[in-house]
């Protein structure tokens, strides 16, 4: 579990873009890393491979888009398949966390920071991954 010195990397896997966030070395605080093309993540292309090499996460946490009823639909199945592919290619275990409200929360955070629609669009995926990861880190300590 996080909190015992384990770095976690969170992927918010979209159809085109993948938001990436990472925890600090203690598994306490989540920070946005950026956005990588989903195809680059799936192919372990250099931009994503560099992130893995730079941060050496012990766990990949992936946001799972559940329905409002809390069930897994086609989008969740797509994310699971992508996550398993990334896990197999990287040799890093994967876990999943509910991401239903992460984009809404990321938009709120971006608005409060004064980002306009165009400026926040690119950062939203990374912020959503940060929200999912911070929630996971906070609840894992309880």
Radius of gyration of the chain (CA): 14
Does 2 map to a domain? Answer: no
Residues with Cβ within 8 Å of 85's Cβ and at least 6 positions away in sequence, in order, are: 42
Mean pLDDT of 9-35: 94
- Kindly report the CATH number assigned to the domain that includes residue 58: 3.30.420.140
Does 1 map to a domain? Answer: no
pLDDT in tens, 95-107: 999 887 666 676 6
- Count of domains for the chain: 1
Tokens of 60: 């990949």
* Residue range(s) defining the domain that contains residue 29: 8-141
In 7-138, which ranges are E strands? 8-13, 17-23, 30-37, 59-64, 93-98
pLDDT in tens, 116-139: 655 556 678 888 899 899 999 998
pLDDT at 142 over 60: no
pLDDT in tens, 45-68: 999 999 999 999 999 999 998 888
Does 95 map to a domain? Answer: yes
């Amino acid at each position: 579990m996080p909190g015992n010195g384990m770095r976690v990397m969170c992927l918010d896997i979209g159809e085109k873009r993948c938001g990436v966030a990472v925890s600090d070395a203690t598994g306490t605080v989540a920070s946005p890393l950026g956005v990588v093309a989903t195809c680059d993540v799936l192919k372990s292309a250099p931009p994503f491979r560099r992130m893995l090499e730079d941060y050496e996460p012990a766990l990949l946490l992936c946001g799972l888009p559940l329905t409002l009823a809390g069930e897994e639909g086609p989008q969740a199945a797509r994310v699971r398949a992508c996550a398993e592919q990334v896990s197999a290619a990287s040799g890093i275990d994967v876990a999943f966390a509910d991401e239903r409200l992460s984009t809404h929360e990321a938009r709120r955070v971006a608005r409060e920071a004064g980002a306009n629609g165009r400026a926040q669009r690119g950062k939203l995926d990374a912020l959503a991954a940060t929200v999912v990861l911070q929630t996971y880190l906070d609840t894992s300590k309880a």
